[in-house]
Structure 1
Amino acid sequence: MKKQLQPFQFVQITQEVQHVISAYKSVNDSKVVGVLQLDLIKLLDELSIKLEPVVEKMLEVVMEKNCTHERASKALQSLKTLVEPFPEMDEKQIDKLFKKQKKVQYPSDWTTDRYQQTYWGWDDFGNQKKYLIVPQKNRYVGLHGDMDPQPLNGLCAICHELSTVSMFSVKLKARGAAGNYTKRGNLICRNSTECNARINDPKHLERFVDYMTNR
């Protein structure tokens, strides 16, 4: 089946479905519920997948007023056949993205749901470091930096939602200055999997990468 969706678009659909199901339980006004249902259908139409058989079956479940979050979640799983998952990379591919690192700490596994991963992030807890692999302009960029061990409540620069965050900082060679370096930092989610599950628009991730990589 043709892959028509990116992970962040699957997150968009998931969030809209959750809004509809929550409204069934908490909203008495049928017009409000109807608006939320139409918002979901409009999104599917904008993504050009409304007429896909798996989408039509999902809608049949979600549009029932007695639909639960559990049933909706199961129905959403079928949409993953339309999603281009984050690619699983081998050590050689990862090494190319982190050429400046003498010893790369590789991901322990790739069992996380790659259909909801717009970027890939993992931790080197022993050295208080974090690795990020991020798509950028039809290629992938590797970011390796310090992850402050202090957890904070704040706005993540990547998903742009309030969550448990810490300062992530990278060292950049200063422009035109031999041997001099400067640091760039930003608050990001400590848990990259949870962060990805909140990304419904990649623009904040793109800005984050630009800021962290441009000297």
Structure 2
Amino acid sequence: MKPFISSADSHFILRQARSVMNGHLKVNDAGVLGAVEELAAERAEARLSDTPAEFMELIGQVAEVRNEESFDRFREQLLPFVIAFPELTEHRLKKLFPKVKKLHPPDLSSVEWRDISYFGWNDLGAARKYLVWEREGKLHAKLGQFRPSGKKGVCAICNGLDEVGLFLSETRHSGGETYTKRGNYICVDSEMCNRRIDEQERLDRFTETIGK
């Protein structure tokens, strides 16, 4: 079966699995645990109701997660159904950022492309952050000024609470002669940010704003 769910969908399902796991680690009341399991399964199934029976059978196992070992096993079973982000190479990144003379991307060999909704990294020496995302089958890229704030805040991409920094990018108006600077606070750690993305729409709104 070909992959057919998004990374955001998988993170939503895994969040339900983790809620069941945390319930079993912290709660002893059988009635409460049963309610947690039932709610997690309902949420996961409702998110992806119109899917093959084989996949729905797997989703039903979200209520059986008990510890980190079973959580990891469930995640490994889920990953083959996830559509991977287009795999990036250093050469491809240089083509996406043609105006950057010295591009310093991170180690790409360790990236799990099925785990991300966008690709981002920091060049703190140059006070920059680079973002790459996909829309309608095409890759888009944007670099912006970026400095970590040293404080926790709500990220405009994942809506999670973590250390954020102001991502400030320039947007060219039609005609190409005037620019507007747009800024928003996003996670310093793009890998952790991706793990929290369970709503693609929020990422789409952010990238539409900076991509104009």
Aligned residue for 1:81? 80
Amino acid at match of 1:89: L
Aligned residue for 1:113? 112
Deviation at 1:4, TM superposition (A): 2.0
Q: Establish whether residue 145 from structure 1 lines up as the match of residue 141 from structure 2.
A: no
Q: Is the CA contact (8 Å cut-off) linking 1:121 and 1:132 kept in structure 2?
A: yes
Deviations 1:167-207 (A, max 9, x none): 111122244462x3321111000000000000000111111
- Cα separation, partners in 2 of 1:96 and 1:55, compared to 1, 3 Å: farther
Aligned residue for 1:190? 188
Amino acid at match of 2:45: L
Amino acid at match of 2:53: L
- Cα separation, partners in 2 of 1:38 and 1:172, compared to 1, 3 Å: same
- Cα separation, partners in 2 of 1:174 and 1:86, compared to 1, 3 Å: same
Where structure 2 has 5 or more consecutive residues not aligned to the other structure, the ranges are none
Aligned residue for 1:10? 10
- Tell me the distance in 2 between the aligned counterparts of 1:7 and 1:188: 19
- Cα separation, partners in 2 of 1:58 and 1:125, compared to 1, 3 Å: farther
Amino acid at match of 1:194: M
Deviation at 1:161, TM superposition (A): 1.1
- Cα separation, partners in 2 of 1:212 and 1:30, compared to 1, 3 Å: same
- Tell me the distance in 1 between the aligned counterparts of 2:210 and 2:55: 42
- Give the secondary structure class of the aligned counterpart of 2:191: helix
- Tell me the distance in 1 between the aligned counterparts of 2:133 and 2:53: 31
Q: Is the CA contact (8 Å cut-off) linking 1:86 and 1:114 kept in structure 2?
A: yes
Amino acid at match of 2:11: V
- Give the secondary structure class of the aligned counterpart of 1:151: strand
- Tell me the distance in 2 between the aligned counterparts of 1:2 and 1:50: 11
- Give the secondary structure class of the aligned counterpart of 2:83: coil
Amino acid at match of 1:212: I
- Tell me the distance in 1 between the aligned counterparts of 2:59 and 2:87: 29
Deviations 1:47-106 (A, max 9, x none): 2457327954981x8527xx2133222232121111112221233432332234344333
Q: Is the CA contact (8 Å cut-off) linking 1:41 and 1:50 kept in structure 2?
A: no
Identity %: 29
Q: Is the CA contact (8 Å cut-off) linking 2:27 and 2:33 kept in structure 1?
A: yes
Amino acid at match of 1:146: Q
- Tell me the distance in 2 between the aligned counterparts of 1:56 and 1:98: 40
TM-score, reference length from structure 1: 0.84
Q: Establish whether residue 204 from structure 1 lines up as the match of residue 205 from structure 2.
A: no
Aligned residue for 2:95? 96
Q: Is the CA contact (8 Å cut-off) linking 1:148 and 1:168 kept in structure 2?
A: yes
Q: Is the CA contact (8 Å cut-off) linking 1:44 and 1:50 kept in structure 2?
A: no
Q: Is the CA contact (8 Å cut-off) linking 1:54 and 1:79 kept in structure 2?
A: no
Q: Establish whether residue 33 from structure 1 lines up as the match of residue 33 from structure 2.
A: yes
Q: Is the CA contact (8 Å cut-off) linking 1:54 and 1:78 kept in structure 2?
A: no
- Tell me the distance in 1 between the aligned counterparts of 2:112 and 2:56: 19
Once superposed, what is the RMSD of the aligned Cα atoms? Answer: 2.6
Q: Is the CA contact (8 Å cut-off) linking 1:62 and 1:72 kept in structure 2?
A: no
